Structure 1
Amino acid sequence: MKGKRVIAGILLAGILAVTLAGCKNTDNTKEETEKPVITLGSDNYPPYNYLNEDGVPTGIDVELATEAFKRMGYQVEVVQINWEEKKELVESGEIDCIMGCFSMEGRLDDYRWAGP
């Protein structure tokens, strides 16, 4: 009789352990808000950066930056900026970095193949 109680107790403990293991809090919204935020500035340059019909920044660069920063443990906030003010916005701390490409004067001259 004592052996049956021990086995029943072990089974009960096992069932409780398995049941309670499934009760883990899976609230991802709390986890997302605890991550530090990186503010990316970008202008309107479809398909890389633009606002969708709901006014939400989207595009190839937005998706790539969001995923890359997520893997590094950051949330991303993308804001539309005047591209001409990009340097001042970064230096003032209004945005953390810029996203996108720009050309530099003389760049083509440096990389043109002169030929034989």
Structure 2
Amino acid sequence: MLMGTAAVAAMSGSMLAGCSGGGDNGGSGDAAASGDASSQTDPSTLTTFIVGFDQSYPPYGFVGDDGEFTGFDLDLAAEVCSRNGWTLQLEAIEWDAKDTLLNSGAITCIWNGFTMEGREDGYTFSEPYMLNEQVVVVKADSGIASLDDLAGKTVITQVDSAAFDVLEGDKADLKATFANLETIGEYNTAFMQLESGAVEAVACDLSIAQYQMSAKPDVYTQLDEALSSEHYAVGFKQGDTELADTVTQTLKDMVADGTVEELCDKYAEYGLTYDNWILA
């Protein structure tokens, strides 16, 4: 189902996509919080399930070698839609616009490595399905071995991301030791800057770190100490509880019949592991 809908999404997504922000999570959900809390989408009458995602966020959502949208979360969404009789539509969105798009009905949900911690009042969430951490990646030969070693260094992260939120919040004291905290629109470019030596560390989701390190194991290494631990969930407009519950139950059914583990294995080469799946 995913490949069939990706062609449609490629056309419709081009209308929404700009400089894609971190599928890695971003924003406090303040814009979403202004939505209608009584809003309800009836799963039994829903026909098209529109997933808003960051197309530069492997392995959860990205453009494959064939030019089609692919990724672990997009495959999960495709299977959920198939089991509920919905047509999947993929919309590659500008991350900063996610709340406006969700509240306007342009997308049904945000499903792309979306951190729920700190956003609970801004969205109606599915139950969390994946464990994640915010971590720091450096070059393997940098001599940086701990968070303390980042003092006086230039660190980069994605704008409006969970890593940025952590460094502005709970880890503000750590950030104060940096020479500079830079932000960028997407992580692929951040890691290019790290490899070139333009910056000395990247703060990002564990999944992004695993993906980049699996592609270049001799170039990058991850610091042992995490910045924070968190969970991924599917974010809906406030009030869409029944739809969120339907998605959660379908995911649980997919766990029970082995589908989720198969999808995790499919993306193992990107560093994704079933060990981090928490929904049962």
TM-score range, shorter chain: 0.5 to 0.7
Residue 104 of structure 2 corresponds to 92
Among residues 67, 71, 93, which one is paired with 1:59 in the alignment? 71
Structure number with higher strand proportion = 2
Q: Aligned in 2, Cα 1:108/1:78: closer, same or farther, shift over 3 Å?
A: farther
Q: Say which SS state the counterpart of residue 100 (structure 2) adopts.
A: helix
Identity of aligned residues (%): 32
Q: CA deviation at 1:108?
A: 6.6
Q: Aligned to 1:40, which of 37, 41, 51?
A: 51
Structure number, greater radius of gyration: 1
Q: CA deviation at 1:49?
A: 0.2
Aligned positions of 1:25-36 closer than 5 A: 36=47
Q: Gapped runs of 5+ residues in structure 2?
A: 1-45, 119-164, 172-227, 230-280
Count the aligned residue pairs: 77
Quote the RMSD (CA, aligned, Å).
2.7
Give the counterpart letter for 1:86 in structure 2.
K
CA distance in 1, matches of 2:80, 2:103: 23
Give me the TM-score of the superposition, normalised by structure 2: 0.25
- 1:21-70: CA deviation from partner (whole Å, max 9, x where unpaired): xxxxxxxxxxxxxx921111101200110012343211100001100121
User: In the alignment, does 2:84 pair up with 1:72?
Assistant: yes
Tell me, in whole angstroms, the C-alpha distance in 1 between the residues paired with 2:82 and 2:74: 12
Distance of 1:38 and 1:74 partners within structure 2:
6
Greater per-residue helix proportion: 1
Conserved? CA contact 1:42–1:98, under 8 Å: yes
